[in-house]
Amino acid sequence: MICAPKIESPARLLRITLAVALALSAAGCSTLDSLNPFGGEKYETKLLPDEPADQIYDQGLARLQKGDSEGAAKKFGDLEKQYPFSTHSRKGLIMQTYSQYQGGQYDDAIATAQRYIGLYPSSPDAPYAMYLAAMSYYNQVPDISRDQERAEKALNLFVSLVEKFPKSEYTEDAKYKIQVTRDQLAGKEMSVGRFYLTRKNYTAGVNRFRDVVGKYQTTRHVEEALYRLTEAYLALGIVNEAQTAAAVLGHNYPDSQWYKDAFALLKGGGLQPNEDAGSWISKSFKKIGLG
């Protein structure tokens, strides 16, 4: 037998409704607000006025003077957030780069400098931003036993600085750093080339010494590179290139101990330095006026 559902009387339904309403009221209105997506704000919203740009900038300078480079960088960064595309934003961005550089946050300084150059390529401070980025790479260059990617990036930025801003006050130091980084990169090539020679892999060694002669002729490593080419070509039986390497070495660095060693090496095999004008070695040196 199926019983029909019990139907509440109107009076009882009214009492139940009032009881639920009182319970919700006692629990507070937050329950209803949480269920109502169109309810009022839980927390009061207050619109705070922007801090004056000059005040933010001065606070950044104050932190920088106290040695708080990280705090200064954050404060200068606030200018870009609160006053985007303004003069204060531009000033803050270059000072943020400087603060990061001073604090040894080199990767951050590089990123900020690149953003500055991208936004303000014609700004009077664009050379300084490029210089800071280059120096950030430069200060992270490891010894020649390790990968030299940062040395290459520093070199490229220093070269760009000299080419794009030849009259900049940072150009002279950039030229000096170019020579230092090239010497570093040449040293890496020489280190690898010597390793190949010890393994009697003369062809691989020649390729490394060839890079030194072709790319880094103005470094202190080029004399040894020419001697090593003499040594490697003799071992390979390529006599004319060995003689040319020694001849070019003697012509450009007659007082070098490396030339004396190359001369002795050839003489031991009954040979003399003799330059072949068609050799890549001869052409490489004539190309920059050293031959």
DSSP H helices in the chain: 10-27, 30-35, 53-65, 69-82, 87-102, 106-119, 126-138, 149-164, 171-198, 202-215, 222-236, 239-252, 257-268, 280-287
Q: Which fold has domain 54-124?
A: 1.25.40
* Domain range list for the chain: 54-124, 141-291
pLDDT tens over the chain, length 291 residues:
434 444 444 444 344 444 434 444 444 444 434 444 444 455 455 444 478 999 999 999 999 999 999 999 999 999 999 999 899 999 999 999 999 999 999 999 999 999 999 999 999 999 999 999 999 999 999 999 999 999 999 999 999 999 999 999 999 999 999 999 999 999 999 999 999 999 999 999 999 999 999 999 999 999 999 999 999 999 999 999 999 999 999 999 999 999 999 999 999 999 999 999 999 999 998 765 443
DSSP 146: S
Second-level CATH architecture of 141-291: Alpha Horseshoe (1.25)
Residues 243/275, Cβ–Cβ less than 8 Å: yes
> For position 274, what pLDDT does the model report?
97
Q: Please tell me the distance from the alpha carbon of residue 168 to that of residue 164, in angstroms, as a whole number.
A: 9
Q: Do domains 54-124 and 141-291 have the same CATH topology?
A: yes
Q: Please tell me the distance from the alpha carbon of residue 173 to that of residue 157, in angstroms, as a whole number.
A: 13
Q: Please tell me the distance from the alpha carbon of residue 231 to that of residue 262, in angstroms, as a whole number.
A: 8
